[in-house]
Amino acid sequence: MPTNMKRFEFHRRDLLKAVPLGVVGLFQACRTAKADRSEVADDDWFSSADLRPLVRFPEKAPMILLTDRPPLLETPLHYFREDFTPNEALFVRWHFAGIPTEVNTAEWRLDVTGSVNRPLQLSLDDLRHRFEAASLVAVSQCVGNSRGLFDPRVPGAQWRHGAMGNARWTGVRLKEILDLAGVRARSVEVAFRGLDEPPLSASPAIERSLTLDHSRDGEVMVAYEMNGQPLPLLNGFPVRLVVPGWYATYWIKSLSHITVRDTPSQNFWMKTAYHMPNNPGANEQPDHPAQDTIPINKFEVHSIFVSPEPGEVIAAGKPREVQGLAMDSGAGIQQVEFSSDGGRSWRDAALDPDLGRYSWRRWRTTWRPAVRGVYRCMVRATNKAGVSQLQSQWNRGGYQRSLIEHMDVRAI
Amino acid sequence: MRITWLVSISFAVFTLVAFLGFRFAPAPIGTMITSLQPRADGAESQRIVLPHDEPELPPGPGRTEFATNCIICHSARYVSMQPPFPRKVWKAEVQKMVDAFKAPINEQDQAQIVNYVVAVFGVEDERK
């Protein structure tokens, strides 16, 4: 059954009236259509309340438990009503169970080696005092954020929208560290490693790399503070890499080794893992996986609902603020549109003040569900480069969610 | 004059006490920060103790192989959080553990692990 027809009912005379008026009239008829769906399925992750268990880990607020070993903890949606995600509520994602649980800053050093003239061993004190402090607001987001909403489902961490957060990061520009070390001619890449280790020594240790140009863009940062405080250990104390506008798989936590390379890395983490179909939107078909894949890189344009939350019942006939977040990889959000009729009609939401090009942008609109029923609400964002969200999207990794999100909201 | 001094000193003492109180207040129940040692340079060393909370493994064929191989590296929650994938998906996942992550699991155990995961967390492949 076509779901659109099930959800909205037209009166024949409405349609007859609309036909002479052409497309404009049809739009009007759609706007006055009744919401007539009565149920939201309990297993609909888009529209039902989040009943996953909460867990308390050290230095963290109660977080949604995906797994305990290694810790994968998701941020409960209500924290997204705040522009800056509290440190205790930022999502946690480690690949291997061998995560650092103790760092003695008297002994800890950040090694800078490889294709450099002066290898460095920097203490936390060096980073804090020998370099100018830089600061920027940026969203950290797992490339698998919202993976649990892919249809058909794909294996991996089954996140909803809570594998992201927005923060003010303070630290040292990577460029300054590289300049101090003196990058040799013919260097091409910079590789990053943290203190985490695989439980089996045979497993490939995590090392991610960025091109030398990207590493020296003056924005990539070795951050020792998040929102003005040291990082929680589970989020990468004492320092983590911050790669504005790029997915968090590059934001190496508890960073310990920076290696300047004169050849591109061919390791598992760059060559095989975290690859996506090489097309705009990272799309492929389940029966026809893309052959051409490239390493994950910048954020796609995406927007989500924050309030009402999935499963929340709202009052019919009364105005209600609907709000959410929109983000892209740095061009900036130009427009966010909201629909309460399954995408037939859209109207502009208002945008909160811009907090920086790598920050998320809050959107708000007031919506009055006219009558009782279930409404299909949708949100789509467009950035200043004219890139909008996707009508359909699927890939085997559950990566780079950019689909136009929907939520069925019941008004009574 | 003396009153101004008194007010200033009281304010300073109050601020100091408030600051120390905030700094050394007991951690909220549930957090497990075992030590936070302030250092001379202002940065603090950190140590945490991770909660240990392994889920029960339901009975099923291949439970022993699952428990003795998979659980070495990761929690069974990595598996139990997944939707009910068909056998071919689980087979590929087990293969990934062996090929990409070098899990030392012999072929017989791999087959048993797939059987267990399909029985407990998955579904059989649809027949075409």
Out of A22-26, B41-45, B48-52, B79-83, least confident range:
A22-26
CA dist A111 → A116, A194, A260, A302 (Å): 12, 11, 11, 36
Tens of pLDDT, residue by residue over A121-173, are: 999 999 999 999 999 999 999 999 999 999 999 999 999 999 999 999 999 99
Q: Rounded CA gap, A238 and A225, in Å?
A: 8
Among partner residues B43, B48, B101, which is closest to A233 by beta-carbon distance? B48
Across the interface, whether the CB atoms of A96 and B73 are under 8 A apart is answered yes
Same domain, B32 and B82: no
- Three-state DSSP at A55 gives strand
Tell whether B95 and B69 lie within a shared domain: yes
- For CATH 3.90.420.10, the residue range(s) in chain A are 54-295
Which range has the worst mean pLDDT, A76-80, A206-210, A305-309, B19-23?
Answer: B19-23
CATH number at residue B81: 1.10.760.10
| B106 in the same domain as B75 | yes
A261-295 pLDDT per residue, tens: 999 999 999 999 999 999 988 999 999 999 999 99
Please enumerate in sequence order all residues whose Cβ is within 8 A of that of A38, keeping only pairs 6 or more positions apart, or say none: A373, A374
Above pLDDT 70, what percent of chain A?
90
**Counted domains in chain B:** 2
Give residue-wise pLDDT tens across range A83-103: 999 999 999 999 999 999 999
Query: Does residue B80 share a domain with residue B31?
Result: no
| Nearby residues of A20 by Cβ (< 8 Å), 6 or more positions away | none
Interface pTM (ipTM) of the complex?
0.85
Residues B75 and B44 reside in one and the same domain: no
3-state SS assignment for residue A235: helix
At which residue do the structure tokens 């020594």 appear? A201
Ramachandran region, residue A22 (left: φ > 0; alpha: ψ -120 to 50; beta: rest):
left
CB contact under 8 A, A103 and B31: no
Question: By the CB < 8 Å criterion, does B11 face chain A?
Answer: no
Looking at residue B123, its pLDDT comes to 94
Q: Which has the closest alpha carbon to A355: A142, A136, A157?
A: A136
Q: Which two tokens stand for residue B29?
A: 């129940």
> Has residue A62 got a pLDDT over 70?
yes
**Tell me, what's the pLDDT at A289?**
92
Residue of B nearest to A45 (CA): B83
What is the pTM (predicted TM-score) of this model?
0.86
Nearest to B100 among A157, A224, A272 (CB): A272
pLDDT at position B54 is 81
Asked whether residue B72 falls in the same domain as residue B38, the answer is no
Residues B67 and B101 in one domain: yes
Residue A377 has pLDDT above 60, yes or no: yes
More confident residue, A295 or A35: A295
Q: Is residue B126 domain-resident?
A: no
Instruction: Return the H-helix or E-strand segment holding A12.
Output: helix A12-31
Tell whether B1 is within 8 A of chain A (Cβ): no
B21 plus B44 within the same structural domain: yes
Alpha-carbon distance of A50 to A138, in angstroms, equals 26
What does the pLDDT read at residue A302?
Answer: 98
Question: Same domain, yes or no, for B68 and B43?
Answer: no
Q: Determine the pLDDT at residue A288.
A: 93
Q: Which domain holds residue B93?
A: 63-121
Q: How confident is the model at residue B39 (pLDDT cuts 50, 70, 90)?
A: very low
> What b/e string do you get for A27-58 counting C-beta neighbours within 10 Å, with b at 16 or more?
eebbeebebebeebeeeebbbeebebeebbbb
Q: Which CATH class name applies to A302-411?
A: mainly beta
1.10.3720.10, 3.90.420.10, 3.10.580.10, 3.30.450.20: CATH of A54-295: 3.90.420.10
